[in-house]
Chains A and B, each alone.
Chain A
């Protein structure tokens, strides 16, 4: 390695420089950091001029310019033939990423061939890593979209049954509930952005609860208390509704007699804290832990889903907190920052 012989490059400096190159090439050979990467590589190789070409042959150059026609002819040859052309003072090596060629590295000056080849494979690794990161990101986005809470068939069936049973006895209430149902489905099925305002979220759970009250009758009592400061906060779509649905289905429905669901939202400093509480049957804390870890079975994907989405959007500190015990009801607490860059309704 040629730089080892030069005393002004200590190994840590070389490492730092190499890491910076990887960072710069995150967006590929034609990304915004390519010019900086070329400059760093040129210093590393101690070459008078160095260029990075992407697959289309367009060059990002650093240092002394070479005869541009010769260079583009050389790049063309390398990209087509996928072979290194290393005859000083103008050398070029292909950069492979994944299963194919991704570009070429062009070096002007008296530099050892092995050094050029080494640098080209380092660039290839950097490009490869950038691609993997981008695809991991895309996969996560797709998964997030797939995770977007779905309307539960159980609920649709119950709601429609109750509305049809009211059709004769109380047509006014039936039509009212039908509108609620329409409202609710439009909101849940909407294909808008990924985020909504808390005010719309609360509106959705209100229509949901209105329908559930029609299904459960007097057995369900509801209290919603929201401080006005948090109504404009942006949150991912349908983070509250699964929690309320969970409280109704696993808290209130199994118990005898009436149950109370309390939903509160308030600001605490720069955070917004929402809690959904029921006085139903509760559960074993171990079971709650399993559910949040995704081991709860198909019946309780809602909680784990919300938890994962919150953590993904706001970071690992902002997961769900579940307070529960058998027979003591359940309280689920959501904490989100009142403002997060990039989270916009």
Chain B
């Protein structure tokens, strides 16, 4: 495992070096006439994908497949479909507005400094909901490959991100992110292809014809990284590594974090936190199974609403579209991004179904996000397995770093640029402070699935920025008061639902789904509020001009780019 750690260290160093010399990617050595050549939509979409594919995509989706079933594959569908909504509704007008961020857009379209500050606050909320799972997943992977405690992993991850930023990663380098996308794609696809080739034909068969995981088929070691409640109908005797024995059940038993148990072959599999076991009836239903609340169709639609409408409000992604020279190429960038992400998201399913067959014990530990990294050594204990594990850990870390650096920069930018205007040198300090706060938030979040937290980030974006952008771009009668109240209502609704899901009493059935995935009611609520409040007021007189500015094509460039 030292090799893996060295590889991770190498990734950090390389990222740091690329960050320091990032701008050199576009250079004209002794002559010139390159600067006015614009960046192509394909390259820009690779950069968008590189920024977008986070540790949650790299590891989280496969983990959700193991835990919740193949219905979790709707997550990548939603993550990708968001770019279609963006392509149709937002990409080109947003680029024409010239705005770099949603707060900028709010001020440009409605000339309201108050709305700007409110949007900046929403950026902070989305950024935190998105960054915490990145830190958490990086911490988990680090603790898994190095047997360090979880909190050390999280702190290391936070230090690496803020150091990368503070030491020169402040640039939003397009070429670096495009390169990162290629790295991630290769590091994800190569081990997947190898895994499919290396497993036995029976395992391949079981992977696509799942049977319920009811009894351990071999002695299974489970490391519990979080507190987990197990439920069995008959007593199970598990061994501890030091030779002791633990009897579980019958009934509910809570296993504390940090314990390791070996379940003997043939023992019945306990249920975890009241959920079913992998491979069961619900597991292979092609709809999202949200913590066994039932109503799979509602759950799927709720998640799709959040992700498809939330993508357009993700601050770090939106910023990338500013690189496109005009509205037309911004739209093309979004189209290419759909294709590139589509290629990447073909593979989490492979890891998911193989993971259910090969490492079902992970499901007991309550943290399935490490399944991708755990697979290769199960298939081949030799050096090939170790190599593949290393590739995947490196890829996951690259994904984590690329997204986190971008997000942390956006958060610090929102704080130092929109919320506390005045100074210029404050950005670096803000980066460090924000990273510290986020690490503290990530420490208690180990039991929350990365996919879940990220989807909450999407939900906040869908209930605040989506109405603001869509109505701001397509409806001239939007007023400041309307926009502010819509954003406030959307934010309050989503945050209230999240707080309820985290700290409230346990719910059942469709109420539970609407609390855990509030998008189906918060998005329409925010839209309605914005429309109703706007209709009662008077739209600013310049709104027609502002709309024309957003929707008319740019004048053709007068200076010839190349002769």
Contact = CB atoms under 8 A, between A and B. Distances in A.
Chain B associates with chain A: yes
A225 B409 contact: no
B29 A223 contact: yes
Interface residues of B, number: 52
A335 B412 CA distance: 18
A211 interface: no
B38 A199 contact: yes
A339 B104 contact: yes
Contacts, number: 126
B23 A231 contact: no
Given A199-B36, A227-B23, A339 B325 contact: no
A227 B174 contact: yes
Contact of A179 (B325, B412, B563): B563
B42 interface: no
Contacts of B31: 222
B108 A341 contact: yes
Interface string A210-243: 1000000000011111111101101000000000
A303 B315 CA distance: 36
A200 B556 CA distance: 12
Nearest to B330: A232
Interface stretch (A40-48, A86-94, A134-142, A267-275): A267-275
A223 B107 CA distance: 37
Interface stretch (A108-116, A201-209, A248-256): A201-209
Contacts of B33: 206
A252 B558 CA distance: 31
Contacts of A231: 35-36, 38-39, 323, 325
Contacts of A202: 35-36
A331 interface: no
B29 to A, nearest CB: 7
A203 B99 contact: no
Interface in B91-120: 98-101, 104, 107-108, 111
B2 interface: no
Interface in B18-75: 22-36, 38-39, 44
Contacts of A234: 98
A269 B30 contact: no
B417 interface: yes
B557 interface: yes
Interface string A310-336: 000000010000000000000000010
Nearest to A267: B172
B35 A203 contact: yes
A195 to B, nearest CB: 10
Contacts of A10: none
A26 interface: no
Given A200-B559, A203-B559, A225 B28 contact: yes
A183 interface: yes
Given A222-B30, A341-B104, A269 B413 contact: yes
B90 interface: no
A183 B559 contact: yes
B110 to A, nearest CB: 10
B530 to A, nearest CB: 21
A264 B23 contact: yes
A179 B171 CA distance: 35
Contact of A229 (B30, B108, B172): B172
Contacts of B25: 227
Contact of A270 (B101, B558, B559): B101
A15 interface: no
Given A232-B322, A341-B108, A224 B424 contact: no
B170 interface: yes
B427 interface: yes
A187 interface: yes
A60 B58 CA distance: 65
Interface residues of A, number: 41
Nearest to B30: A221
A335 B170 CA distance: 14
Given A206-B32, A229-B172, A232-B325, A341 B24 contact: no
A271 B424 contact: yes
A225 B32 CA distance: 9
A269 B409 contact: yes
B422 interface: yes
B226 to A, nearest CB: 36
Contacts of A266: 22-23, 171, 173
Contact of A203 (B28, B108, B413, B561): B561
Nearest to A183: B559
A338 interface: yes
Interface in B390-426: 409, 412-413, 416-417, 422-424
A229 B173 contact: yes
Contacts of B80: none
A179 B563 CA distance: 10
A293 interface: no
Contact of B98 (A264, A268, A339): A339
Contacts of B409: 269
A266 B174 CA distance: 11
Interface string A168-189: 0000000000010001001100
Nearest to B428: A269
A224 B30 CA distance: 8
Contact of B557 (A200, A265, A268): A200
Contacts of B108: 339, 341
Contacts of B323: 228-229, 231-232
A73 interface: no
A313 to B, nearest CB: 14
A232 B424 contact: no
Contacts of B36: 199-200, 202-203, 206, 231
A268 B26 contact: no
B180 interface: no
A317 B422 contact: yes
A344 interface: yes
A227 B37 CA distance: 11
Contacts of A338: 100, 322
B137 interface: no
A30 B429 CA distance: 48
Nearest to A221: B30
A190 B44 CA distance: 31
Nearest to A32: B541
A210 B31 CA distance: 9
A201 to B, nearest CB: 9
A203 B34 CA distance: 9
A230 B412 CA distance: 19
A141 B172 CA distance: 34
B365 interface: no
A295 B35 CA distance: 34
B333 interface: no
B300 interface: no
A213 to B, nearest CB: 9
Given A228-B26, A344-B98, A269 B427 contact: yes
Contacts of B98: 232, 234, 339, 343-344
Contacts of B427: 268-269
A10 to B, nearest CB: 28
Nearest to A199: B36
Interface of A: 179, 183, 186-187, 190, 199-200, 202-204, 206, 209-210, 221-229, 231-232, 234, 264-271, 317, 335, 337-339, 341, 343-344
Given A206-B32, A229-B322, 11 more contacts: A200-B559, A203-B561, A223-B30, A224-B34, A225-B26, A226-B34, A231-B38, A232-B325, A269-B416, A270-B417, A339-B104
9 contacts: A190-B558, A203-B36, A223-B30, A224-B35, A227-B23, A228-B174, A228-B323, A229-B173, A341-B108
